[in-house]
Chain A
Amino acid sequence: MLRNGISALNIGLAGFADPIVAAGASVLNLDWRPPAGADPELGMLQARLEDDPDDAVGRQVAAANRDALDRLLGASPLLVDVRPAEEAIPGLTGRMLLHSGPPISWDRMCGPMRGAIIGAALFEGWAADAQAAEQLAERGEIAFDACHHRGAVGPMAGIVSPSMPVVVVENTASGNRAFATLNEGLGKVLRFGAYDDSVLERLRWFRDSLGPILARTLEANGPVDLKSITAQALQMGDEGHNRNVAATSLLVRSLAPTLVRTSTAADATAALDFLRGNDHFFLNLSMAACKASLDAAHGIPGSTVVTAMSRNGVEFGIRLSGTADEWFTAPVGVPDGLYFPGYGPEDANPDLGDSAITETCGIGGFAMAAAPAIVRFVGGSAADALNFTREMYRITLERNPTFALPPLGFAGTPTGIDARRVVESGVQPVINTGIAHKLPGVGQIGAGIARAPLSCFADALRGLAARLDVAEAA
């Protein structure tokens, strides 16, 4: 009566499979558990948002996700320029700073973010000293906005001020642009909230020297295909978030001859010395490339694809393609990881930065299989690294054919986080991250692995359901 005989999924009592097996039909037992954190209403809401060719909502969600995935996978992010932020980023003018994560006001900001704001105010010459800078912020004389609202992404505190040089990444497939500051390296750096003279000195050198050098180099060299560099780097032990040594090397190798040709010997030596010493230089490019790709997939009504995951040191926030510019937030925790000697979890700031855009795009923690060294941060083995990536396939819609993972038989990276799958399975997106000291100015004190809070994804589904007029309860 059923075409091709019975082939069954058994959900619940395992013993119900026995008669089916005895009758010679095929059956698969699920390791079922109550979905959606054992919340039946949320589970039903998620079920109502599932694809269904015979239902208007199910059709819309399926088509929207297909569209989002096509745009995400089809993105072509190129590094085209390095420009002062006020020239590159629309609307970033006057006394305005961008910060990482979902929007947050000065009074709620964490230590490292406040430190970075003080540093940026000093760098821009808005204040003479730290105290004056704080007073400016307290009096509301500095405007703040989230990087994500203006096409930008910033690691850790993510502070972008008008005269900082930013990389300009153009997604030629969709024509949109994304921006990120230049990576400062490790040690005392603005993104971890440090603002002493060495930090400000480096920022000035970026503005006056490195930025223009890179701009000239790119002009002479032509755009650099960032997707191609990431694809190669994934086969060389990088994962595009916490390990960038291969990608940085590939970038420098490709730009060095032109950089030397277009610069004075002293400038070229200084620039190449800096790049040689900064294994993380590519991180900000990786982030901008991911942002340019995900922004192209953003804003498709009905889509459950996650287009941003980000933290501001107080809250974790996500955005869905189908819920426009709404943020869904939850308190953010301290990552699980290893600390530099002399530091421990009690010193750590809760997780911080826009760098989880890499995981949102299917690399970073999602590509852990490419970089087994990363799992040592949490005492894991090489096999654990593969399992992190395998687990992420459970919550993503596609495998990115451009980003192949050799240890998994060259399978593509898990791409296109589906909020429905996260809510249903309870599998939390994994994020590789650095750990900042909670006091401004101390800097990085460790690195580790964080998990995105589930409630953000549940709230995002509720938000989407409200837009689609899908009821939570019967």
Chain B
Amino acid sequence: MSVVRQRVFRNAYRDSVELMRIAAEIEHLPGVIRAGLVMCTPANLAIVTDAGLGKGLDPAAGPNDMVVALAAKDDEAAEAAFERAATLMRGAGEESPGDGRRFVPTTIAEALGELPEANLALISTPGPYAAAEALKALKRGLHVFLFSDNVSIHDEIDLKRLGARKGLLVMGPDCGTAILDGVPLGFANVVRRGGVGLVGASGTGLQQVTCLLDAFGAGVSQAIGVGGRDLHEEIGGLMMLAGLERLAADDGTNVIVLISKPPDAPVAATVLAAAAAVSKPVVVNFLGGDAEPIRAAGAHPAATFEEAARTAARLSLGAEPVSLDGDEPEARLLEGDDALGPGRIAGLFSGGSLASEAKVVLKDLLGAEVAADQQIVDLGDDEYTVGRPHPMIDPRLRSEKIVEAGQNPAVSVILLDIVLGYASHPDPAGALIPAIDAARRAATEGGRRLAVVAAVCGTPGDPQGLAGQREILIDAGVHLAASNARAARMAGLMVQPAAMREVPA
């Protein structure tokens, strides 16, 4: 027997991510079978109804109201869950619980009354509202870090043109990370400050390069994210050009790194022409793109994020960077027994650019045909994140996929990225261990060999701690590589057809 109950919190707006987090906690309370917390928009209410949680819901609930909808064992369990939800909600909104009357601004206009010196707006609202917030911020002279996705390309064009006209940065939409003047924004790692300035149209690409710069002993002056569409022809690389110009003028920057998927050809030409005009060395990583035009522009091409980081570190430090840990295991793998072929790789990525880099590495190693057989997926892609948090925050979907891969006789290697830093899960490695164990058990029971290969994208300064995260993975029998590119290569070598294998001297 179970009951379906709801409680509506009037005019109690919370971000959907926060609501899902609270829902996850409520669902674990004793006697709670299923829980949903949503703002009462028509679309959300349809979801609640489809989930069987809509029976008896107050029809007066509207888009500014929040509902906790439950299936519970009995009314007592439901009541306890409502109380818990109310407590969690209270804790989430208040700045200083002791002073209930303190004015908390709700709009940019009000906030500027409280913090008139503000020069940057971080926007992570739901997509449909994000462009208006960004426009208001730009009109008031603020740079914009626009984390929100689902912003139309038309709005992006308008915002970036306005930003360019006003001399303001528009980082995003869908910008995951930035480091400005040593301050990490969004999903960012704690990296040493130094001379390398970066502009990237790829969030986890920027994270990987900045972390590797740290590992190579170099440091970061600025890392400017511009969002994945900046180098599309419609946008024309407006913000990459603006970022490049700023870095060229920035006294703290002695080397510049540009990161993007291969841009549309005219945009690539414009960006490379601008790079050619800069007197500082420029390293260009157009992931999987053609190196020749880059060289022709007098810049340094880099095929992978690791190569970009190594080249930039060398140019910035004026010396060969330190070597990375983890060269050794790759060499050992090449020596025979660990090679598992001819199974397939299940690459289950939380970082979209890291998945792209893995594909580039595998294509280079295995050839296009064999590489195409490998299943490299970006679980942060829109098709997986509708109605649920990004896999860098919430490990549940990835855990399910890891368990599935373990049960699949065609899979012999699971390839993972573990992304540390602010805003990521507090223990991303530990959160995956139960699934990794289950996958390996399933393989053993099926009489199969299954290797798990991973790289941790992080630094010793990150809140999760690099050493601890690595240890957790090593203890679980995961093959660790020092970079994402190396992890992909290691996985590729494991499944490489015997005929292709070359054992190095």
Contact = CB atoms under 8 A, between A and B. Distances in A.
Interface string A379-421: 0000000010010001000000000000000000000000001
Contact of B118 (A7, A51, A52): A7
Interface in B7-57: 13, 15, 17-18, 39, 41
Nearest to A58: B139
A19 B143 contact: no
Interface in B220-273: 221-222, 246, 250, 252
A33 B101 CA distance: 18
A20 B39 CA distance: 28
Contacts of B181: 1-2, 5-6, 25
Interface residues of A, number: 54
Contact of A31 (B104, B158, B184): B104
Contact of B423 (A5, A16, A31, A33): A16
A8 interface: yes
A43 interface: yes
Nearest to A387: B101
Contact of B64 (A38, A47, A394): A38
B95 interface: yes
Given A12-B124, A29-B95, A40-B128, A54 B166 contact: yes
A10 interface: yes
A474 interface: yes
Contact of A9 (B137, B180, B188): B137
B124 to A, nearest CB: 3
B184 A33 contact: no
B106 interface: yes
- Among A11, A31, A390, A474, the one with the most B-chain Cβ atoms within 10 Å of its Cβ is A11
Given A28-B111, A47-B135, A48-B135, A13 B183 contact: no
B124 A11 contact: yes
Contacts of B129: 34-35, 40, 43
Contacts of B155: 474
Contact of B119 (A2, A32, A390, A424): A2
Nearest to B114: A28
Interface string A43-66: 110111011101100100000000
Nearest to B108: A9
Interface string A418-431: 00010011100000
A18 interface: yes
B123 A1 contact: no
B403 to A, nearest CB: 28
A6 B123 CA distance: 15
Nearest to B143: A2
Nearest to A40: B128
A18 B186 CA distance: 10
Given A9-B118, A11-B122, A55 B139 contact: yes
B107 A35 contact: yes
A7 B117 CA distance: 7
Given A2-B180, A38-B41, A46-B132, A19 B165 contact: no
Nearest to A18: B422
Contacts of B158: 474
Contact of A33 (B95, B106, B128): B106
B22 to A, nearest CB: 13
A3 interface: yes
Interface stretch (B146-154, B338-346, B434-442): B146-154
A35 B246 CA distance: 33
Contact of B123 (A11, A15, A25, A421): A11
A27 B105 CA distance: 13
A1 B250 CA distance: 6
Interface string B96-136: 00000101111111111011011111111110110111011
A299 interface: no
A387 B101 CA distance: 9
A47 B103 contact: no
A474 B119 contact: no
Given A29-B95, A34-B63, A13 B17 contact: yes
B107 A20 contact: no
Secondary structure of the B contact surface, majority rule: mixed
Nearest to B127: A40
A7 B184 contact: no
A131 interface: no
A266 interface: no
B93 interface: yes
A74 interface: no
Contacts of B124: 11-13, 16
B65 to A, nearest CB: 10
Nearest to B166: A54
B246 A1 contact: yes
A1 B119 CA distance: 12
A4 to B, nearest CB: 7
A26 B121 contact: no
Given A20-B185, A425-B107, A12 B15 contact: yes
B143 A30 contact: no
Given A3-B119, A6-B181, A30 B135 contact: no
B137 A394 contact: no
Contacts of B132: 35, 40, 43-44, 46-47
Contacts of A29: 95, 104
B467 interface: no
Interface in A190-235: none
A109 B117 CA distance: 53
A9 B139 contact: no
Contacts of B222: 1
B23 to A, nearest CB: 16
A23 B184 contact: yes
Contact of B93 (A10, A31, A425): A31
B135 A28 contact: no
B121 A8 contact: yes
B188 A19 contact: yes
Contact of A28 (B101, B105, B166): B105
A37 interface: yes
B106 A390 contact: no
A356 B124 CA distance: 39
> 4 tightest A-B contacts by CB?
A12-B124, A33-B13, A19-B422, A38-B63
Given A6-B119, A11-B125, A425-B106, 17 more contacts: A4-B117, A5-B181, A5-B183, A7-B118, A8-B122, A11-B133, A22-B422, A28-B115, A29-B104, A32-B13, A32-B133, A34-B63, A35-B129, A40-B132, A47-B132, A425-B107, A425-B110
Interface of A: 1-16, 18-20, 22-23, 25-35, 37-38, 40, 43-44, 46-48, 50-52, 54-55, 58, 387, 390, 394, 421, 424-426, 474
15 contacts: A2-B120, A7-B118, A8-B185, A9-B108, A11-B123, A13-B15, A16-B186, A19-B422, A31-B93, A32-B133, A34-B64, A34-B129, A43-B129, A44-B135, A426-B64
